[in-house]
Amino acid sequence: MTERQSRTGEELSLVQSPAAEAKAAIAGFLKDFSTFQDDVKSTLKHQEERLTMLNAKTMSYGRPALSARAETEAPHQKAFNAYLRSGDDDGLRGLTLEGKAMSTAVAADGGYLVDPQTAERIQSMLFATSSLRSVANIVQVEATSFDVLVDRSEVGSGWATEVAATTETATPIIERISIKLHELAAMPKASQRLLDDSAFDVEGWLAEKIATRFIRAEAAAFINGDGVDKPKGILLPTKVANASWVWGQLGYIPTGAAADFAATNPADCIINLVYALGADYRANGTFVMNSKTTGAVRKMKDVDGRFLWSDGFAAGEPARLMGYPVLICEDMPDIAANAYAIAFGDFRAAYTVAERPDLRILRDPFSAKPNVLFYANKRVGGDITDFAAIKLLKVAVS
Protein backbone atom coordinates (compact mmCIF):
# COMPACT_ATOMS: atom_id res chain seq x y z
CA MET A 1 0.00 0.00 0.00
CA THR A 2 1.36 3.37 -0.92
CA GLU A 3 1.72 6.25 1.52
CA ARG A 4 -1.09 8.15 -0.19
CA GLN A 5 -3.52 5.20 0.14
CA SER A 6 -2.71 4.77 3.85
CA ARG A 7 -3.40 8.45 4.53
CA THR A 8 -6.76 8.27 2.71
CA GLY A 9 -7.89 5.24 4.81
CA GLU A 10 -7.14 7.08 8.05
CA GLU A 11 -9.15 10.09 6.89
CA LEU A 12 -12.20 7.89 6.08
CA SER A 13 -11.94 6.25 9.50
CA LEU A 14 -12.03 9.67 11.18
CA VAL A 15 -15.10 10.68 9.15
CA GLN A 16 -17.06 7.49 9.96
CA SER A 17 -16.28 7.42 13.74
CA PRO A 18 -18.75 10.20 14.89
CA ALA A 19 -21.60 8.62 12.89
CA ALA A 20 -21.01 5.26 14.55
CA GLU A 21 -21.02 6.86 17.98
CA ALA A 22 -24.34 8.65 17.27
CA LYS A 23 -25.91 5.41 16.09
CA ALA A 24 -24.83 3.63 19.24
CA ALA A 25 -26.21 6.45 21.44
CA ILE A 26 -29.62 6.30 19.71
CA ALA A 27 -29.78 2.56 20.19
CA GLY A 28 -29.03 2.94 23.91
CA PHE A 29 -31.73 5.64 24.31
CA LEU A 30 -34.35 3.45 22.62
CA LYS A 31 -33.48 0.58 24.91
CA ASP A 32 -33.79 2.78 28.04
CA PHE A 33 -37.11 4.25 26.80
CA SER A 34 -38.49 0.76 26.22
CA THR A 35 -37.57 -0.20 29.79
CA PHE A 36 -39.28 2.98 31.08
CA GLN A 37 -42.49 2.12 29.16
CA ASP A 38 -42.53 -1.35 30.69
CA ASP A 39 -42.16 0.11 34.20
CA VAL A 40 -45.06 2.59 33.65
CA LYS A 41 -47.34 -0.14 32.28
CA SER A 42 -46.55 -2.33 35.26
CA THR A 43 -47.30 0.47 37.75
CA LEU A 44 -50.60 1.38 36.06
CA LYS A 45 -51.67 -2.24 35.99
CA HIS A 46 -50.89 -2.59 39.70
CA GLN A 47 -52.92 0.55 40.53
CA GLU A 48 -55.86 -0.64 38.43
CA GLU A 49 -55.88 -4.00 40.20
CA ARG A 50 -55.80 -2.22 43.59
CA LEU A 51 -58.74 0.07 42.70
CA THR A 52 -60.74 -2.88 41.41
CA MET A 53 -60.12 -4.75 44.63
CA LEU A 54 -61.15 -1.75 46.81
CA ASN A 55 -64.29 -1.17 44.76
CA ALA A 56 -65.27 -4.82 45.03
CA LYS A 57 -64.72 -4.71 48.79
CA THR A 58 -66.92 -1.61 49.08
CA MET A 59 -69.70 -3.13 46.96
CA SER A 60 -69.64 -6.23 49.11
CA TYR A 61 -71.13 -4.16 51.94
CA GLY A 62 -74.19 -3.39 49.81
CA ARG A 63 -73.62 0.30 48.97
CA PRO A 64 -71.59 2.16 46.33
CA ALA A 65 -68.34 3.91 47.18
CA LEU A 66 -69.79 7.38 46.56
CA SER A 67 -72.57 6.88 49.12
CA ALA A 68 -70.09 5.62 51.67
CA ARG A 69 -68.00 8.74 51.26
CA ALA A 70 -71.04 11.03 51.42
CA GLU A 71 -72.18 9.34 54.64
CA THR A 72 -68.75 9.89 56.13
CA GLU A 73 -68.65 13.53 55.12
CA ALA A 74 -72.18 14.42 56.30
CA PRO A 75 -73.13 12.29 59.33
CA HIS A 76 -74.99 15.20 60.93
CA GLN A 77 -77.17 15.70 57.86
CA LYS A 78 -78.09 12.01 57.73
CA ALA A 79 -78.97 11.90 61.44
CA PHE A 80 -80.88 15.18 61.21
CA ASN A 81 -82.88 13.91 58.23
CA ALA A 82 -83.87 10.78 60.17
CA TYR A 83 -85.00 12.94 63.09
CA LEU A 84 -87.15 15.18 60.87
CA ARG A 85 -88.83 12.32 59.04
CA SER A 86 -89.46 9.82 61.83
CA GLY A 87 -88.41 11.43 65.11
CA ASP A 88 -85.49 9.01 65.46
CA ASP A 89 -82.93 10.98 67.48
CA ASP A 90 -80.54 8.14 68.26
CA GLY A 91 -78.17 9.33 65.55
CA LEU A 92 -78.16 12.89 66.86
CA ARG A 93 -77.67 11.82 70.47
CA GLY A 94 -74.67 9.71 69.58
CA LEU A 95 -73.20 12.18 67.14
CA THR A 96 -69.92 13.90 67.97
CA LEU A 97 -69.19 17.34 66.59
CA GLU A 98 -65.70 18.79 66.98
CA GLY A 99 -64.95 16.37 69.78
CA LYS A 100 -68.11 17.14 71.80
CA ALA A 101 -71.30 15.14 72.04
CA MET A 102 -74.18 16.99 70.39
CA SER A 103 -76.46 16.28 73.36
CA THR A 104 -74.26 18.45 75.61
CA ALA A 105 -75.19 21.50 73.49
CA VAL A 106 -78.92 20.84 73.73
CA ALA A 107 -81.00 21.85 76.74
CA ALA A 108 -83.79 19.62 78.01
CA ASP A 109 -86.60 19.64 75.44
CA GLY A 110 -84.75 22.42 73.64
CA GLY A 111 -84.44 20.67 70.32
CA TYR A 112 -81.41 19.74 68.22
CA LEU A 113 -78.97 21.86 66.29
CA VAL A 114 -79.82 22.17 62.61
CA ASP A 115 -77.32 20.48 60.32
CA PRO A 116 -74.75 22.88 58.80
CA GLN A 117 -76.06 22.51 55.23
CA THR A 118 -79.60 23.56 56.18
CA ALA A 119 -78.34 26.35 58.42
CA GLU A 120 -76.25 27.77 55.58
CA ARG A 121 -79.28 27.75 53.26
CA ILE A 122 -81.27 29.71 55.82
CA GLN A 123 -78.48 32.24 56.36
CA SER A 124 -78.01 32.76 52.61
CA MET A 125 -81.73 33.50 52.25
CA LEU A 126 -81.60 35.98 55.12
CA PHE A 127 -78.71 37.88 53.57
CA ALA A 128 -80.15 37.77 50.05
CA THR A 129 -83.39 39.52 50.97
CA SER A 130 -84.05 43.27 51.28
CA SER A 131 -83.51 43.62 55.00
CA LEU A 132 -81.36 45.98 57.01
CA ARG A 133 -79.27 42.89 57.81
CA SER A 134 -77.72 43.12 54.34
CA VAL A 135 -76.06 46.49 55.12
CA ALA A 136 -75.68 46.30 58.92
CA ASN A 137 -72.78 45.06 61.02
CA ILE A 138 -73.29 41.35 61.89
CA VAL A 139 -71.57 39.75 64.89
CA GLN A 140 -71.76 36.18 66.19
CA VAL A 141 -71.91 35.81 69.98
CA GLU A 142 -72.25 32.97 72.47
CA ALA A 143 -73.64 35.01 75.38
CA THR A 144 -77.15 36.38 76.00
CA SER A 145 -76.10 39.92 75.12
CA PHE A 146 -73.43 41.79 73.22
CA ASP A 147 -71.74 44.93 74.56
CA VAL A 148 -70.36 47.60 72.24
CA LEU A 149 -67.95 50.22 73.55
CA VAL A 150 -68.42 53.48 71.65
CA ASP A 151 -65.88 56.30 71.72
CA ARG A 152 -68.05 59.29 70.80
CA SER A 153 -65.50 62.04 71.18
CA GLU A 154 -62.08 62.93 69.90
CA VAL A 155 -58.94 62.64 71.99
CA GLY A 156 -57.76 66.18 72.76
CA SER A 157 -54.65 67.48 71.09
CA GLY A 158 -52.74 70.74 70.72
CA TRP A 159 -49.56 72.30 69.46
CA ALA A 160 -46.52 72.20 71.74
CA THR A 161 -43.45 74.37 71.76
CA GLU A 162 -40.04 73.83 73.24
CA VAL A 163 -40.40 76.36 76.06
CA ALA A 164 -44.16 76.66 76.72
CA ALA A 165 -45.90 74.37 79.20
CA THR A 166 -48.12 71.68 77.68
CA THR A 167 -51.76 72.04 78.68
CA GLU A 168 -53.93 69.08 79.63
CA THR A 169 -56.14 67.84 76.79
CA ALA A 170 -59.69 66.50 76.95
CA THR A 171 -60.23 62.80 77.53
CA PRO A 172 -62.47 60.68 75.27
CA ILE A 173 -66.00 59.75 76.32
CA ILE A 174 -66.55 55.98 76.27
CA GLU A 175 -70.14 54.71 76.22
CA ARG A 176 -71.33 51.12 76.57
CA ILE A 177 -74.27 49.94 74.45
CA SER A 178 -75.65 46.53 75.43
CA ILE A 179 -77.52 44.60 72.74
CA LYS A 180 -79.79 41.98 74.28
CA LEU A 181 -80.52 38.83 72.31
CA HIS A 182 -84.17 37.82 71.89
CA GLU A 183 -85.70 34.53 70.78
CA LEU A 184 -86.96 34.41 67.21
CA ALA A 185 -89.15 31.41 66.46
CA ALA A 186 -91.00 29.74 63.58
CA MET A 187 -93.24 26.67 63.63
CA PRO A 188 -94.04 25.21 60.20
CA LYS A 189 -95.97 21.93 59.94
CA ALA A 190 -96.10 19.03 57.52
CA SER A 191 -98.12 15.81 57.34
CA GLN A 192 -96.44 12.57 58.36
CA ARG A 193 -97.40 11.07 54.99
CA LEU A 194 -95.43 13.80 53.23
CA LEU A 195 -92.44 13.22 55.49
CA ASP A 196 -92.54 9.50 54.71
CA ASP A 197 -92.17 10.26 51.00
CA SER A 198 -88.47 9.79 50.25
CA ALA A 199 -88.73 12.11 47.22
CA PHE A 200 -89.75 15.00 49.48
CA ASP A 201 -86.81 17.32 50.24
CA VAL A 202 -87.61 17.87 53.91
CA GLU A 203 -84.44 19.89 54.62
CA GLY A 204 -85.07 22.27 51.71
CA TRP A 205 -88.74 22.69 52.63
CA LEU A 206 -87.86 23.37 56.27
CA ALA A 207 -85.11 25.86 55.38
CA GLU A 208 -87.45 27.83 53.13
CA LYS A 209 -90.29 27.95 55.69
CA ILE A 210 -88.00 28.98 58.56
CA ALA A 211 -86.16 31.58 56.50
CA THR A 212 -89.42 33.14 55.26
CA ARG A 213 -90.69 33.56 58.82
CA PHE A 214 -87.37 34.85 60.14
CA ILE A 215 -86.96 37.31 57.25
CA ARG A 216 -90.33 38.94 57.86
CA ALA A 217 -89.87 39.18 61.62
CA GLU A 218 -86.30 40.49 61.44
CA ALA A 219 -86.99 43.03 58.70
CA ALA A 220 -89.85 44.56 60.70
CA ALA A 221 -87.91 44.60 63.99
CA PHE A 222 -84.75 46.17 62.53
CA ILE A 223 -86.85 49.13 61.34
CA ASN A 224 -89.63 49.53 63.92
CA GLY A 225 -88.67 47.25 66.83
CA ASP A 226 -89.35 48.63 70.31
CA GLY A 227 -86.83 46.46 72.15
CA VAL A 228 -89.54 44.49 74.02
CA ASP A 229 -88.85 40.83 73.21
CA LYS A 230 -87.42 41.96 69.89
CA PRO A 231 -84.49 44.05 68.57
CA LYS A 232 -84.54 47.85 68.68
CA GLY A 233 -85.22 49.41 65.28
CA ILE A 234 -83.55 52.37 63.62
CA LEU A 235 -86.72 54.49 64.02
CA LEU A 236 -87.01 53.96 67.79
CA PRO A 237 -84.81 56.79 69.18
CA THR A 238 -86.04 60.35 69.67
CA LYS A 239 -85.91 62.41 66.46
CA VAL A 240 -84.96 66.07 66.41
CA ALA A 241 -84.20 68.66 63.73
CA ASN A 242 -80.69 68.02 62.56
CA ALA A 243 -79.51 71.45 63.75
CA SER A 244 -80.39 70.41 67.33
CA TRP A 245 -78.95 66.90 67.15
CA VAL A 246 -77.12 65.41 70.14
CA TRP A 247 -75.87 61.90 70.86
CA GLY A 248 -78.67 59.44 71.59
CA GLN A 249 -81.05 61.07 69.10
CA LEU A 250 -81.51 60.96 65.35
CA GLY A 251 -81.39 64.13 63.29
CA TYR A 252 -83.93 64.70 60.52
CA ILE A 253 -84.30 66.92 57.46
CA PRO A 254 -87.84 68.11 56.51
CA THR A 255 -89.31 67.69 53.02
CA GLY A 256 -90.73 71.23 53.08
CA ALA A 257 -94.38 70.20 52.74
CA ALA A 258 -96.90 68.98 55.31
CA ALA A 259 -97.74 65.61 53.76
CA ASP A 260 -95.56 65.26 50.67
CA PHE A 261 -92.45 66.55 48.99
CA ALA A 262 -92.34 70.25 48.26
CA ALA A 263 -94.13 71.32 45.09
CA THR A 264 -91.15 73.42 43.99
CA ASN A 265 -87.73 71.80 43.77
CA PRO A 266 -88.78 68.61 45.61
CA ALA A 267 -85.32 67.08 45.21
CA ASP A 268 -83.69 69.72 47.41
CA CYS A 269 -84.58 67.81 50.58
CA ILE A 270 -82.81 64.69 49.24
CA ILE A 271 -79.67 66.72 48.62
CA ASN A 272 -79.93 68.27 52.09
CA LEU A 273 -80.35 64.80 53.61
CA VAL A 274 -77.18 63.51 51.97
CA TYR A 275 -75.04 66.42 53.13
CA ALA A 276 -76.48 66.39 56.64
CA LEU A 277 -74.46 63.21 57.16
CA GLY A 278 -70.80 63.58 58.05
CA ALA A 279 -68.29 63.10 55.24
CA ASP A 280 -66.69 60.07 56.90
CA TYR A 281 -70.08 58.30 57.01
CA ARG A 282 -71.30 59.64 53.67
CA ALA A 283 -68.64 57.71 51.77
CA ASN A 284 -70.42 54.45 52.72
CA GLY A 285 -73.96 55.85 52.67
CA THR A 286 -77.08 53.89 51.70
CA PHE A 287 -80.68 55.05 51.26
CA VAL A 288 -83.42 52.96 52.91
CA MET A 289 -87.07 53.41 51.87
CA ASN A 290 -90.13 51.38 50.84
CA SER A 291 -91.53 50.84 47.35
CA LYS A 292 -94.14 53.61 47.48
CA THR A 293 -91.53 56.18 48.45
CA THR A 294 -89.26 54.83 45.74
CA GLY A 295 -91.97 55.44 43.14
CA ALA A 296 -92.09 59.12 44.10
CA VAL A 297 -88.34 59.66 44.47
CA ARG A 298 -87.30 58.12 41.18
CA LYS A 299 -89.27 60.82 39.31
CA MET A 300 -87.18 63.63 40.79
CA LYS A 301 -84.80 65.64 38.64
CA ASP A 302 -82.08 68.16 39.35
CA VAL A 303 -82.09 71.77 38.10
CA ASP A 304 -80.65 70.60 34.78
CA GLY A 305 -83.46 68.13 34.21
CA ARG A 306 -81.42 64.98 34.98
CA PHE A 307 -82.97 62.21 37.05
CA LEU A 308 -81.44 61.70 40.49
CA TRP A 309 -82.28 58.00 40.25
CA SER A 310 -80.30 55.49 38.18
CA ASP A 311 -80.95 51.78 37.85
CA GLY A 312 -78.18 49.23 38.20
CA PHE A 313 -76.90 47.98 34.86
CA ALA A 314 -75.27 44.75 36.10
CA ALA A 315 -77.14 41.80 37.60
CA GLY A 316 -77.42 42.15 41.36
CA GLU A 317 -76.26 45.77 41.37
CA PRO A 318 -78.59 48.01 43.44
CA ALA A 319 -80.31 51.09 42.08
CA ARG A 320 -78.69 54.37 43.04
CA LEU A 321 -79.96 57.75 44.17
CA MET A 322 -77.46 60.58 43.77
CA GLY A 323 -74.83 57.89 43.30
CA TYR A 324 -75.62 56.06 46.57
CA PRO A 325 -77.19 52.55 46.68
CA VAL A 326 -80.85 52.18 47.62
CA LEU A 327 -82.18 49.39 49.85
CA ILE A 328 -85.92 48.73 49.53
CA CYS A 329 -87.35 47.86 52.96
CA GLU A 330 -91.13 47.59 52.93
CA ASP A 331 -91.34 48.22 56.67
CA MET A 332 -90.26 51.84 56.22
CA PRO A 333 -93.19 54.30 56.55
CA ASP A 334 -95.12 55.58 53.53
CA ILE A 335 -95.05 59.25 52.59
CA ALA A 336 -97.50 60.85 55.04
CA ALA A 337 -97.64 63.75 57.46
CA ASN A 338 -94.81 63.56 60.04
CA ALA A 339 -93.61 60.19 58.70
CA TYR A 340 -89.89 59.42 58.54
CA ALA A 341 -90.03 57.96 55.05
CA ILE A 342 -86.33 57.79 54.16
CA ALA A 343 -83.21 56.94 56.13
CA PHE A 344 -79.71 57.66 54.86
CA GLY A 345 -76.55 56.54 56.57
CA ASP A 346 -73.59 54.26 56.95
CA PHE A 347 -75.51 51.36 58.46
CA ARG A 348 -72.47 49.17 58.95
CA ALA A 349 -71.27 51.73 61.45
CA ALA A 350 -74.73 52.72 62.67
CA TYR A 351 -76.52 49.43 63.36
CA THR A 352 -75.27 46.15 64.83
CA VAL A 353 -77.06 42.80 64.60
CA ALA A 354 -75.90 40.31 67.24
CA GLU A 355 -76.93 36.67 66.96
CA ARG A 356 -76.06 33.23 68.19
CA PRO A 357 -74.72 31.02 65.39
CA ASP A 358 -76.80 27.97 66.29
CA LEU A 359 -80.33 27.24 65.09
CA ARG A 360 -82.39 24.60 66.92
CA ILE A 361 -85.30 22.40 65.83
CA LEU A 362 -87.78 20.57 68.07
CA ARG A 363 -90.08 18.00 66.44
CA ASP A 364 -93.64 17.84 67.82
CA PRO A 365 -95.81 15.02 66.38
CA PHE A 366 -98.54 15.29 69.06
CA SER A 367 -99.93 18.84 69.19
CA ALA A 368 -101.38 18.95 65.66
CA LYS A 369 -102.14 15.36 64.66
CA PRO A 370 -101.94 14.06 61.96
CA ASN A 371 -99.48 16.84 61.15
CA VAL A 372 -95.99 17.24 62.60
CA LEU A 373 -94.90 20.62 63.94
CA PHE A 374 -91.30 21.79 63.76
CA TYR A 375 -90.44 24.43 66.33
CA ALA A 376 -87.35 26.32 65.16
CA ASN A 377 -85.73 29.04 67.19
CA LYS A 378 -82.63 31.24 67.20
CA ARG A 379 -81.49 34.21 69.29
CA VAL A 380 -80.91 37.60 67.69
CA GLY A 381 -80.73 41.24 68.78
CA GLY A 382 -80.06 44.60 67.21
CA ASP A 383 -79.57 48.25 68.13
CA ILE A 384 -78.08 51.52 66.92
CA THR A 385 -74.43 51.78 67.90
CA ASP A 386 -73.59 55.12 66.27
CA PHE A 387 -76.29 57.80 66.31
CA ALA A 388 -74.20 60.11 64.14
CA ALA A 389 -74.22 57.64 61.23
CA ILE A 390 -77.96 57.92 60.37
CA LYS A 391 -80.07 60.85 59.18
CA LEU A 392 -83.81 60.75 58.47
CA LEU A 393 -86.10 62.54 56.05
CA LYS A 394 -89.29 63.74 57.76
CA VAL A 395 -92.42 64.54 55.76
CA ALA A 396 -93.09 67.93 57.29
CA VAL A 397 -92.79 71.65 56.62
CA SER A 398 -90.00 72.05 59.15
The one-letter amino acid code at 307 reads F
- Helical pair 116-128 and 75-86, crossing angle rounded to 10 deg: 90
Reported in sequence order, the residue ranges of 57-173 that DSSP labels E, i.e. its strands, are 96-97, 100-101, 112-113, 137-140, 145-151
pLDDT, position 73: 42
Q: pLDDT for 65-121, tens place per residue? A: 444 444 444 676 777 777 778 777 777 666 544 444 444 344 445 667 777 777 777
- The closest alpha carbon to 381, from 50, 44, 79, 140, belongs to 140
Cα distance between residue 284 and residue 255, in whole Å: 23
Phi/psi at 363 (5° precision):
-90, 130
Give burial (CB, 10 Å; 0-12/13-18/19+) of 353. buried
- Tell me the β-bridge partners of 138: 353
pLDDT, position 30: 65
pLDDT at 16 over 60: no
Most confident of 116-125, 148-157, 170-179, 379-388: 379-388
